[in-house]
Amino acid sequence: MQITERLEVSVAYITAKGIKFNDLYYTNGKMIQLGWFERALKKGEWKVPIIYDPIDVSEIYILHLYQVINASAINLSDQKINSDIQKLYFEAVQLLKTRLKGDSKE
C-alpha cells in the first residue's frame, strides 16, 4: 500500500501552544513567522483542514490557501506555564518585532 492510499483528511486546531490534533501538538517555522500561535493566544483558537498518515503521525499537512504546509510533532512538557509569565513572554516578542521593523526602515 502506497502512502497516498493511507492519507486521511481531518481537522486540527490552531492554539497558542501549537497545532493540536489527536492530543498531539505540531509546529513549523512558517506558522511561527505568520504569527498563528500569537493570534490564537490573543483572539482564540480556530480550525484548519489537514491531511495525515494514520500510521505515522509525526507530521501533518495543513491545507492553507494555495499551498500545503507540513508541520512536525513537538513534545510539550507536562509542566504548567504560569499564564502571567506566558503573557509577558508574548508581549516581549511583540515588542521585539516592532523594534526590528523600526530598525529595518532606517
Q: What are the sequence ranges of the domains in the chain? A: 3-78
Q: pLDDT value at position 44?
A: 94
Q: pLDDT value at position 79?
A: 56
With cell 521585539, the residue in question is: 96
Cα distance from N-terminal residue to C-terminal residue, the chain: 56
pLDDT tens readout for residues 3-36: 667 899 999 999 998 999 998 899 888 888 889 9
Residues of the chain above pLDDT 90, percent: 31
Q: pLDDT value at position 105?
A: 57
Q: pLDDT value at position 104?
A: 59
Asked if 73 and 26 count as a contact pair (C-beta separation under 8 A), the reply is yes
